[in-house]
């Protein structure tokens, strides 16, 4: 028997949403007929520019990719008005979170984050032998910035700050975020995980300014959500040159495939598609709110492409009932939110189907 090291032996397995392949095999649907609303992916697909760019660039795919992602970097330098040395690319934010853990979390370091929040924070922290300190969400399911500040000690090393927060969809008011960042000691790294930032409903600050003014802040962005490129696996971090230099020391030398670089660049050039996704997402969220209200269901207004709703019914049962009808959603129990569901926003006809299934489940539950 070969033993894994202690820090890995005791790690919980990361549990992603049920996959289309899994549900297809279990319930006998062809994969193409299933609708997955469990991973906060983009149901409007991606820009047609992406498919064209992939085709136009296929002559490059037998080369190793450009390790510097030069063209994409130039585009982001322009977008965020930063230097190229302030940027790092990752195989999705997942990889960037992992790198941050490797570089900044050591044995006994305290790491603070919201409960519930994105599940990978736990694995990254424990793998690096950090001590997890979870701060429960407020009554309105928002991130408790005061609670986080109160937990900071001499041993605090990293704060994972998911904003908007997954799975609650809440956003920290801009003034509160600015004053929070100001109050955190400079030797504590604040990781702004901003996977859903484009979906924020209403005006927001440019959080890159926080990075520019604070050497202890890193902002993580992804092409998986608004741009609809989840399968390509590409995201980036913006931080001080020192943070980026250290992260680069442990990054795989070739981590971003060329198709992903091309896809991200092409996606950024299609502003119309991007704006439409945001507009459609808002419209569909409003549809959900109206339906939830008329069903008398409690929900959390969302700043993401997903919504949290309370049915009070066992989540495993509800998830299975949805799967039987060809829709994959996520039970709140996985986030410690018993009786809640997290539903990713789909296209109009898909959301109508979700509500129909939900109505059936609720009326069955009433009969019992």
Ligand X SMILES: Cc1ncc(COP(=O)(O)O)c(C=O)c1O
* Residue corresponding to tokens 């407020």: 138
- Confirm if 127 and 11 have CB atoms less than 8 A apart: yes
Site string for ligand X, 99-128 (x = CB under 6 A): -------------------x----------
In the complex with ligand X, which residue's Cβ is closer, 91 or 311? 91
Of 44, 69, 45, 52, the closest CA to residue 269 belongs to 52
Under rule CB under 6 A, residue 92 binds ligand X: yes
Of 15, 338, 303, the closest CA to residue 168 belongs to 303
Under rule CB under 6 A, residue 19 binds ligand X: no
In the complex with ligand X, which residue's Cβ is closer, 94 or 258? 94
Among 20, 177, 195, 300, binds ligand X (CB under 6 A): 195
Rounded Cα distance between 111 and 158, Å, is: 5
| Tokens representing residue 330 in the block | 């996520």
Among 24, 40, 302, 303, binds ligand X (CB under 6 A): 40
| Tokens representing residue 196 in the block | 């859903």
Complete edge-to-edge strand list for the sheet that includes strand 340-344? 298-300, 306-310, 340-344, 330-331
Under rule CB under 6 A, residue 163 binds ligand X: no
Site string for ligand X, 211-230 (x = CB under 6 A): -----------x-x-----x
Percent of residues in the chain assigned helix, strand, coil, to nearest 5: 45, 15, 40
Rounded Cα distance between 273 and 245, Å, is: 34
Among 69, 86, 94, 238, binds ligand X (CB under 6 A): 94
| Tokens representing residue 231 in the block | 């399968």
Under rule CB under 6 A, residue 207 binds ligand X: no
Under rule CB under 6 A, residue 169 binds ligand X: no
Site string for ligand X, 242-271 (x = CB under 6 A): ------------------------------
Rounded Cα distance between 44 and 280, Å, is: 9
Nearest distance, CB of residue 325 and ligand X, angstroms: 24
Under rule CB under 6 A, residue 341 binds ligand X: no
Under rule CB under 6 A, residue 72 binds ligand X: no
Dihedral of alpha carbons 225, 227, 232, 238, sign: negative
Among 142, 235, 315, 346, binds ligand X (CB under 6 A): 235
Residue 201 is classified by DSSP as S
At 348 the three-state DSSP class reads helix
Under rule CB under 6 A, residue 305 binds ligand X: no
Nearest distance, CB of residue 186 and ligand X, angstroms: 25
In the complex with ligand X, which residue's Cβ is closer, 128 or 224? 224
Rounded Cα distance between 240 and 213, Å, is: 9
Instruction: With contacts defined by CB under 6 A, name the span among 21-29, 92-100, 280-288, 332-340 that binds ligand X.
Output: 92-100
Nearest distance, CB of residue 95 and ligand X, angstroms: 7
Binding footprint of ligand X on the chain (CB under 6 A): 40, 92-94, 118, 162, 166, 193, 195, 222, 224, 230, 235
């Amino acid at each position: 028997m070969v033993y894994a090291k202690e820090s890995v032996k005791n790690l919980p397995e990361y549990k992603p949403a049920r996959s289309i392949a899994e549900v297809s095999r279990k319930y006998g649907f062809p994969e193409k007929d299933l609708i997955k609303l469990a991973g906060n992916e983009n149901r409007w697909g991606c820009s047609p520019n992406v498919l064209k760019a992939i085709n136009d660039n296929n002559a490059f795919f037998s080369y190793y990719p450009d390790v510097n992602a030069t063209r994409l970097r130039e585009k982001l330098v322009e977008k965020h008005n930063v230097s190229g040395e302030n940027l790092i690319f990752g195989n999705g934010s997942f990889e960037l979170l992992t790198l941050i853990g490797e570089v900044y979390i050591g044995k006994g370091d305290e790491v603070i984050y919201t409960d519930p929040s994105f599940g990978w924070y736990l694995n990254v922290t424990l793998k690096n032998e950090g001590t997890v300190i979870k701060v429960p969400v407020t009554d309105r399911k928002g991130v408790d910035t005061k609670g986080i500040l109160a937990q900071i000690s001499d041993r605090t090393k990293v704060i994972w700050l998911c904003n908007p927060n997954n799975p609650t969809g809440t956003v920290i008011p801009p003034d509160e975020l600015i004053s929070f960042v100001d109050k955190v000691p400079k030797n504590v790294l604040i990781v702004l995980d901003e996977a859903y930032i484009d979906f924020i409903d209403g005006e927001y600050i440019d959080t890159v300014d926080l990075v520019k003014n604070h050497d202890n802040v890193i902002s993580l962005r992804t092409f998986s959500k608004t741009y609809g490129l989840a399968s390509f696996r590409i995201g980036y971090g913006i931080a001080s040159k020192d943070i980026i230099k250290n992260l680069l020391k442990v990054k795989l030398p070739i981590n971003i495939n060329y198709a992903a670089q091309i896809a991200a660049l092409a996606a950024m050039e299609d502003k119309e598609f991007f704006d439409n996704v945001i507009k459609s997402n808002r419209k569909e969220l409003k549809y959900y709110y109206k339906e939830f209200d008329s069903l008398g269901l409690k929900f959390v207004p969302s700043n993401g492409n997903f919504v949290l709703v309370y049915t009070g019914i066992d989540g495993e049962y509800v998830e299975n009932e949805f799967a039987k009808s060809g829709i994959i959603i996520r039970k709140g129990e996985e986030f410690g939110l018993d009786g809640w569901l997290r539903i990713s926003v789909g296209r109009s006809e898909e959301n109508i189907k979700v509500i129909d299934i939900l109505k059936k489940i609720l009326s069955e539950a009433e009969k019992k």
